[in-house]
A and B are shown apart, each in its own frame.
Chain A
Amino acid sequence: MSPQFIIDAAFIAAAFLFIYGLKRMSSPVTARSGIVVAGWGMLVAVLASFLYTFGVAEAAKPHLTTNAIVAAVALAIGVSWAWWSGKKVAMTAMPQMVALYNGMGGGSAAAIAAMVLLQPAVEGGHSGDLLHYGVTVFGGLIGAISLSGSLIAWAKLDERIKGTWRYTGLQAVNGAVMLITLGIGGWIVFAAGGHAPPMIVVGFFVAALVFGVFMTMPIGGADMPVVISLYNAFTGLAVGMEGYVLQNPALMIAGMVVGSAGTLLTLLMAKAMNRSVSNVIFSNFGATGGEAEGEIKGSMKPIDAGDAGIQMRYASKVIIAPGYGLAVAQAQHKLFEFVKLLQAADVDVKFAIHPVAGRMPGHMNVLLAEAGVPYDIIYDMEDINAEFKEADVAIVVGANDTVNPAARTNKSSPIYGMPILNVDMAKQVFVVKRGQGKGYSGVENELFFKDNTNMVYGDAQKVMVSMIQAVKSLDGGGH
């Protein structure tokens, strides 16, 4: 068997294992085995790729030892750093970690593109092949955007960068940067036929990276579910394109599967916000709000956490609507402890999850799973919205815009038309909230002023502890 045969066999095995693994990941019962299956595919492909040493280009042969050492050392460092960081990251910090790993993949695809453009000998004679270099440049472009964009997303979610860029003429600046990037890329492909001087190639990637930064800086935290899954799709497409450039079907298949899956997920997220993807990326959301606000009648009525807890203890049906505030306060464990007390008192407790609650798609589900909440009491918005009117109590923990009834009724509101959780239809609503501020959209929440709403002010974790204590002392110090 020639090395090339083994490589080809390993790659087709990897492609099969990836698809089969992803398929198994589509049900909670088989999901864990799915990632393990895909993991074997990756291991096989990476080990086989070192067989490439037996068939490098003539020009690279004198450098082969150094090259192999460079690749092996980089692989070892990359794997061990990522393994260590992935093991220790807290579940609440998962969105930024996923963004970071995703950006790294985009950077890797961009690096491949750069090497191809710097050394046309890498993949044999393609001199002047417009398709070949067009794909190389385009894949490199979206890979680089994904790298710098994901890094900004990571820094924002990790609160290393605070605030967002919002100034007049922002779109014009972004548009100019994009045109410059495309201009250099087009020059490399059409004018230079893929053989551009190194400085031009470097300039192209610098421009692409800058564009990724400029594109992501104006986007705020609550739009991150869309952004993260968009960059996931970008990296997938970039990998698929560089796979074509390197004539590697495993990269093409894996990249394209992820690219289309990521695109679908991005559209689902944008739909859940009743906005288009381009609206999320190119418009300054918070800036448009504010001015067209109607007067809200009534006032916010605070309630003691313990009293609210006891009221839920005597309810027969309670629905919980968590949001990003739950993650910030790390309150998921205490929340589930409280839920278990309610369940012991025969209260029917369900969780209602808005599709864009949190900072990445399905963020809340991960936090609740970490706390041990079984997934069969967790419901999607469309499955539970009809049940709110039968609920005695709906409790909102750290969510805001996703439960604002203005989205249903107030046509002048910037969030009008966005599907929301119908918590306001419950007989009694409790809102656990740190302060009296507005939500991400900058819109005042009508829910907080309704007659059947009471506010429980405080850090979600501390509030949950007070509720647990109140219910426990009522039930005679446990049961």
Chain B
Amino acid sequence: MEAHTVLTGFVALYIFMLAAFTGYEIIGRVPSILHTPLMSGSNFVHGIVVVGAIYATLNATTMLEQAIGFFGVLLGAGNAAGGYVVTERMLEMFKPSDKKKG
């Protein structure tokens, strides 16, 4: 498929620059008690790579590409799903004092 949006080098740089500042600002204020879930949460977010792997696999033309595509999608899907499950499990555990003292 011919990609219909044309992201030239400079438009890409604008996107990268703004995204980099966004990431910096969001993470810069996180208390260190949340560093693990946050790292694992951002780990989940880059699981979006599976979308790119699906796109490239759908456009495969040889067996070799299909094989690489299979692993690309497999790994990306594992990144996304695994990242989600462990982050959700960890965040569920963080609780303040109020409920205890039973």
Interface residues of A (CB under 8 A from B): 4, 8, 11, 14, 18-19, 21-23, 25-29, 31-32, 34-36, 38-39, 42, 45-46, 49-50, 52-53, 55-57, 59-60, 63-64, 66-68, 70-71, 73-75, 77-83, 85-87, 89, 91, 94, 97-98, 100-102, 104-105, 107-109, 111-112, 114-116, 118-119, 121-124, 131, 147, 198, 228-229, 232, 235-236, 238-240, 242-244, 246-262, 264-265, 343, 353, 355, 360-363, 365-366, 369-370, 372, 374-378, 380
Contacts and interface: CB of A to CB of B under 8 A. Distances in A.
B29 to A, nearest CB: 6
A116 B56 contact: yes
A380 B36 contact: no
A26 B29 contact: yes
Nearest to A266: B39
Interface string B7-25: 1010010011001111110
Chain A binding site: helix, strand, loop or mixed by DSSP? helix
Contact of A100 (B5, B37, B47, B82): B82
B77 A82 contact: yes
Contacts of B5: 8, 247, 249
B38 A112 contact: no
Contacts of B28: 264
Given A254-B46, A260-B19, A78 B36 contact: no
B79 to A, nearest CB: 4
Contacts of A111: 53, 56, 68-69, 71-72, 75
A105 B76 contact: yes
Nearest to A378: B33
A198 B65 CA distance: 10
B42 to A, nearest CB: 4
A105 B75 contact: yes
Nearest to A11: B51
Nearest to B6: A247
Nearest to A108: B76
B16 to A, nearest CB: 5
Interface in B31-55: 31-55
A248 B88 contact: no
B75 A265 contact: no
A112 B79 CA distance: 15
A63 B37 contact: no
Interface string B70-102: 111111111111111111111111111110110
Given A22-B41, A124-B3, A119 B48 contact: no
Contacts of B90: 91, 94, 366, 369
B1 to A, nearest CB: 4
A249 B51 contact: no
Given A21-B41, A42-B44, A67-B57, A249 B7 contact: yes
A66 B60 CA distance: 9
A239 B46 contact: yes
A410 B20 CA distance: 40
Closest 10 CB pairs of A and B: A78-B77, A111-B72, A86-B85, A362-B35, A82-B82, A108-B76, A105-B79, A256-B19, A74-B73, A260-B23
A370 B58 CA distance: 42
Contacts of B56: 111-112, 115-116, 122, 246
A53 to B, nearest CB: 6
Chain B binding site: helix, strand, loop or mixed by DSSP? helix
Nearest to B5: A247
A260 B35 CA distance: 15
Contact of A32 (B27, B30, B91, B98): B91
Q: Which residue among A29, A71, A377 has the maximum number of chain B CB atoms within 10 Å of its CB?
A: A71
Given A71-B57, A71-B58, A236 B33 contact: no
Nearest to B27: A261
Contacts of A39: 44, 84, 88
Contacts of A104: 75-76, 78-79, 82
B38 A121 contact: no
Nearest to B87: A35
B89 A25 contact: no
B68 A114 contact: yes
6 contacts: A39-B44, A82-B78, A105-B80, A116-B56, A374-B98, A375-B95
Given A101-B43, A124-B2, A255 B49 contact: yes
A98 B75 contact: no
Contacts of A27: 31, 34
B5 to A, nearest CB: 6
Contact of A365 (B22, B36, B77, B95): B36
A298 to B, nearest CB: 33
Contact of A78 (B27, B55, B74): B74
B24 to A, nearest CB: 5
Contact of A246 (B55, B65, B87): B55
Given A35-B44, A112-B72, A246 B33 contact: no
Given A70-B70, A369-B95, A242 B23 contact: no
Contacts of A239: 46, 48-49, 52
A321 to B, nearest CB: 15
Contacts of B94: 28, 31-32, 365, 369, 375
A74 B74 contact: yes
Contacts of A85: 82
A21 to B, nearest CB: 7
